[in-house]
Amino acid sequence: MTTVLNIEKLCVCYGTIEALHGVSLHVDEGEIVALIGANGAGKTTLLKTISGLLPAASGTIQFRGASIGNLPAHRVVEHGIAHVPEGRMIFTNLTVKENLAMGAYRRKKSDAMRSDQEYIFTIFPRLAERQQQIAGTLSGGEQQMLAIGRAIMSGSKFLMLDEPSLGIAPILVQTIFEKLLEIRKERGLTILLVEQNANLALETCDRAYVLETGQILLEGLPGELMDNPKVKSAYLGG
Residues that bind ligand ATP (CB under 6 A): 14, 19, 37, 39-45, 196
CA atoms within 13 Å, Cβ hemisphere of 52: 18
- Give the span between the Cα atoms of 138 and 118, in whole angstroms: 20
At closest approach, how far in Å is the CB of 77 from ligand ATP?
Answer: 20
- Give the span between the Cα atoms of 74 and 24, in whole angstroms: 24
- Give the span between the Cα atoms of 164 and 94, in whole angstroms: 21
User: Residue 47 or residue 82: which is nearer to ligand ATP going by CB?
Assistant: 47
Q: Going by C-beta distance under 8 Å and a sequence separation of 6 or more, which residues neighbour residue 73?
A: 51, 52, 53
At closest approach, how far in Å is the CB of 38 from ligand ATP?
Answer: 7
Residue 32: φ, ψ to 5°: -110, 115
Q: Could you tell me how far CA 160 lies from the centroid of its own chain?
A: 2
User: Residue 123 or residue 211: which is nearer to ligand ATP going by CB?
Assistant: 211
At closest approach, how far in Å is the CB of 132 from ligand ATP?
Answer: 33
At closest approach, how far in Å is the CB of 166 from ligand ATP?
Answer: 8
User: Residue 142 or residue 162: which is nearer to ligand ATP going by CB?
Assistant: 162
